[in-house]
């Protein structure tokens, strides 16, 4: 009989987790959270005789951690769950024990955001304290944009609180780690490709990135330090560091289920391992089978949306025929309403092109070239 696992989260997140669970030869059972708390979840899990409870998104991480802990099931600690979900709590812990924090402020009013921006200087980033996947974040380069930034970030936050940090020029490194009872290990290091326009975040994601010398040692040392601070963690976590001259900052800590394009797209393409499958299996205590089946380099090139109602999509077959293209994912279907792109293509995009090659640069070139075949026609433009 297959092991059973409860999946808790939003509809979109649990749908992906169901697929991953079946790939891992587990029996998925979706639990619909009605806000009844960890006791109700633990009782339902006990009644269903599940072997594990999986938080399919960060919003339910604390609920799942509390329920799993009460039942003695594998899971990350409640402290780790809170730090995953709450950036304010993460900043407090890092500030007390490390030098990894950038300067920052927290506010729950527009006046508070304006004050933080004046103290920190521009450009700065305003983002929700407990958002995930970059939702609601915006780079502010003009103080007059503070109302827009606060409105977006506070709407995406469950408690209306927002985090304000300087937008620093540097190189981003995403360190993907798996953690469990037997310790932790680095699966890969990725890097963002800048968008080339000052109001956007990133244009693409490439992997693996080779980090050598003192920076490699510092990254490993700081990952080890953060893992000690967050407590027990069962699963795959992504640490997003920013290297600026001689300084190293931890910008984000994310559960792998918040980056599906990386988990089920880019990473399997470069080594044959589905990170979401591996992560869901960790909820029943299964050991990590993280040995690569092959090794190549890959790039995710995000597609920029056009605002309006999608009338037609062209060039998919041509893009897929480009040598090295592993996937073309188009979220823009006929009839879909696409809104204006506000900040990052990776969050507002109509999809992506994934390509592989012998080097990250060549993979990036192929993905960009293939994307030029794609054209989304809209029947009407949305007016501001």
Regarding pTM above 0.85, the answer is: yes
pLDDT at 30: 97
CB atoms within 10 A of CB 320: 14
SS3 98: coil
CB atoms within 10 A of CB 224: 12
Is it the case that residue 348 has pLDDT exceeding 70?
A: no
Angstrom distances, CA of residue 144 to CA of 119, 150, 259, 270: 15, 11, 32, 43
* Of 129-138, 171-180, 308-317, highest mean pLDDT: 171-180
pLDDT tens-digit map of 210-239: 998 999 999 999 999 999 998 888 899 999
Give the integer Cα–Cα distance in Å for 120 and 350.
33
SS3 239: strand
Name the average pLDDT for the chain: 90
pLDDT at 273: 95
pLDDT tens-digit map of 95-123: 999 999 999 999 999 999 999 999 999 99
pLDDT band at 309 (very low <50, low <70, confident <90, very high): confident
Q: Which two tokens stand for residue 323?
A: 């040598």
pLDDT band at 288 (very low <50, low <70, confident <90, very high): confident
Is it the case that residue 349 has pLDDT exceeding 90?
A: no
SS (H, E, C) 128-152: ECCCCCCCCCEEECCHHHHHHHHHH
Give the integer Cα–Cα distance in Å for 357 and 352.
17
Is it the case that residue 199 has pLDDT exceeding 50?
A: no
What angle do the packed helices 61-71 and 38-48 form, to 10 degrees? 50
pLDDT at 165: 96
What angle do the packed helices 61-71 and 78-85 form, to 10 degrees? 170
pLDDT tens-digit map of 236-265: 999 999 999 989 999 999 999 998 999 999
């Amino acid at each position: 009989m297959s092991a059973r696992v409860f999946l808790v989260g939003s509809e979109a997140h649990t749908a992906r987790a169901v697929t991953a669970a079946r790939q891992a030869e587990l029996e998925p059972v979706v639990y619909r959270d009605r806000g009844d708390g960890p006791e109700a979840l633990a009782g339902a899990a006990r009644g269903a005789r599940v072997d594990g409870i999986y938080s399919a998104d960060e919003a339910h991480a604390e609920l799942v951690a509390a329920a799993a802990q009460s039942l003695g099931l594998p899971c990350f600690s409640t402290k780790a769950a809170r730090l995953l979900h709450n950036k304010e709590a993460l900043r407090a812990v890092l500030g007390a024990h490390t030098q990894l924090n950038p300067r920052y402020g927290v506010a729950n009013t527009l006046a508070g955001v304006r004050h933080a921006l004046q103290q920190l200087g521009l450009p700065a980033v305003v983002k929700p304290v407990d958002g995930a996947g970059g939702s609601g974040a915006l780079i502010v380069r003009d103080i007059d944009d503070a109302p827009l930034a606060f409105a977006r970030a506070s709407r995406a936050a469950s408690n209306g609180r927002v985090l304000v940090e300087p937008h620093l020029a540097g190189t981003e490194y995403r360190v993907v780690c798996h953690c469990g009872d037997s310790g932790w290990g680095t699966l890969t290091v990725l890097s963002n490709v800048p968008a080339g326009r000052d109001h956007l975040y990133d244009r693409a994601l490439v992997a693996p990135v080779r980090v050598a010398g003192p920076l490699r040692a510092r990254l490993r040392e700081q990952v080890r330090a953060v893992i000690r601070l967050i407590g027990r963690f069962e699963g795959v976590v992504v640490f997003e560091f920013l290297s600026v001259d001689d300084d190293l900052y931890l910008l984000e800590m994310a559960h792998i289920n918040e980056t599906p394009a990386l988990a089920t797209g880019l990473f399997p393409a470069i080594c044959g391992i589905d990170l979401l499958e591996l992560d869901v299996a960790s909820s029943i205590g299964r050991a990590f089978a993280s040995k690569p089946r092959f090794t190549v380099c890959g790039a995710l090139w995000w597609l920029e949306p056009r605002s309006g109602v999608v009338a037609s999509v062209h060039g998919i077959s041509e893009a897929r025929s480009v040598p090295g293209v592993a996937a073309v994912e188009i979220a823009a279907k006929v009839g879909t309403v696409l809104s204006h792109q506000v900040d990052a293509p990776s969050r507002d995009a109509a999809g992506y092109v994934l390509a592989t090659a012998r080097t990250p640069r060549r993979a990036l070139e192929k993905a960009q070239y293939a994307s030029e075949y794609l054209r989304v026609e809209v029947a009407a433009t949305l007016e501001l």
